[in-house]
Amino acid sequence: MQYTDLSTPIRTIMTPGPVEVDPRVLRAMSNPIVGQFDPSFTTIMNEVMEMLRSLFQTKNQWAFPVDGTSRSGIEAVLCSVIEPDDTVLVPIFGRFGYLLTEICERYGANVHTIECEWGTIFKQETIKQKIEEIKPKIVAVVHGETSTGCMQPIDQIGKTCRKHDSLLIVDAVASIGGVEIKVDEWMIDAMIGGTQKCISVPSGLAPITYNNRVEAVIQARKKVERGISTEEDQQLELARKHHFIKSNYFDISMLQDYWGPRRLNHHTEATSMLYALREGLRIILEEGLDQRFRRHLYHEQALITGLEAMGLTLFGEAQSKLPTVTCVEVPDGIDPEFVRSTLLDQFGIEIAKSFGPLEGKIWRIGTMGYSCRKENILFVLGALEAVLLQHGASIHAGKATVAALEYYTEQAATSVLSV
């Protein structure tokens, strides 16, 4: 069989990821390969660590990507700290809360959950009370829940965790790079980001950061591979009182020896993906974090303005909304998948469905990273209106794009934001 040249269509990707990628990032991946211990490559590794610290707003020494998709970072952090029968608290407000419980359970944790209705979030006070009550070793919480488009405030939880010597671990896959998160100020002990969402780098790396409290737990479980370990390593291992980490690939004590000054071989770092991450982070810092967060809010507002002008109903509490994902209820009598496939086939626009109890009930429109641009907002509003009208939905015709356009015009006249 003959395979043709790779020829991918141009899509307008308005999902919660993977989203469009700046052409500069795509080009960066075309740089030739250099060896993993080539000084020119270890320089790139160090630069990426430095830039991740800026993005995460942390002074943590450890900030580097795990080589895998977002959930590889989540699993790496959780399995490196969880020992069998450790108590973990997971507040669940959507699908990805369940993912956290699932990973914790697989590694033998004693998982406690609190749940709230999808589309709502917890009062921080509720989470804090539960921490006071069960004094877990770990509190694992999703920050931006893409399945419901909700964002859980977490700035007050860290202090309670410190009081009970609990570790606060945050899944910021869907929010990092689009919404402010202050790792140090909010006393987050470990955090995991995703590349293919607001960072706008292709899927395949999971940037993480963790502080000294987490490092102490990990170091107590340290293991160095036979075949490359020294006698000193082996003696330290024998003296170890804690369970070793179940996974080799996700053993952060080993990743740390690779990313740190010891440069101990573990895996072979994903060269081209690291080029992409470096360029993606460089673009983020060039734009500036504040400006970037404002840009996400700015286009989110344009999208909401258009959707409401069309007469559509947003899903979820307005005050709990994740600025990078907008959930819209499917109007009565409309086949949600038929709308999605028409958008894709006719307009080249992708929007997302949801999961579990929300499947078939809502669409999810992402406004993330490089996809979060004026022309994309205007295009998706016009396209969605046309498709809904064609399918006989009772919406207000001719309103959505005009409303967004007026919003943009007004903002341009009054705002200092350069977007």
Site map 265..284 versus a copy of itself, x via CB under 8 A: xxxxxxxxx-xx-xx--x--
Closest-CA residue to 189 (of 168, 220, 219):
168
Q: At closest approach, how far in Å is the CB of 54 from a copy of itself?
A: 9
Closest-CA residue to 121 (of 103, 135, 104, 141):
141
> Which H or E element spans position 89?
strand 87-92
Residues 333-362 that bind a copy of itself (CB under 8 A): 344, 350, 355-356
Applying CB under 8 A, does 315 fall inside the site for a copy of itself? no
Give the residue with the Cβ less far from a copy of itself, 33 or 397. 33
Closest-CA residue to 95 (of 300, 289, 285, 362):
362
Residues 30-69 that bind a copy of itself (CB under 8 A): 30-36, 38, 40-41, 44, 47, 50-51, 67-69
The token pair at 351 is: 């929007």
Q: At closest approach, how far in Å is the CB of 368 from a copy of itself?
A: 12
Residues 377-416 that bind a copy of itself (CB under 8 A): none
Residue with tokens 């002008």: 309
Residues 135-164 that bind a copy of itself (CB under 8 A): 147
Residues 73-102 that bind a copy of itself (CB under 8 A): 75, 79, 94-99, 101-102
Cβ neighbours of residue 295 closer than 8 Å, sequence gap 6 or more: 287, 372, 417, 419
d(CA 132, CA 84): 22
Size of the site for a copy of itself (CB under 8 A): 88
Q: At closest approach, how far in Å is the CB of 410 from a copy of itself?
A: 32
d(CA 375, CA 279): 23
Residues 202-231 that bind a copy of itself (CB under 8 A): 202-204, 223, 225-228
**Of 49, 56, 62, 70, the one binding a copy of itself by CB under 8 A:** 70
The answer to whether the CB of 264 falls within 8 A of the CB of 254 is: yes
Give the residue with the Cβ less far from a copy of itself, 44 or 404. 44
- Binding piece for a copy of itself, criterion CB under 8 A, among 246-254, 309-317, 322-330, 393-401: 246-254
User: Does the N-terminal peptide bond of residue 261 adopt cis geometry, omega within 30 degrees of 0?
Assistant: no
Neighbouring C-alpha atoms within 13 Å toward the C-beta of 267: 14
- Binding piece for a copy of itself, criterion CB under 8 A, among 2-10, 134-142, 297-305, 387-395: 2-10
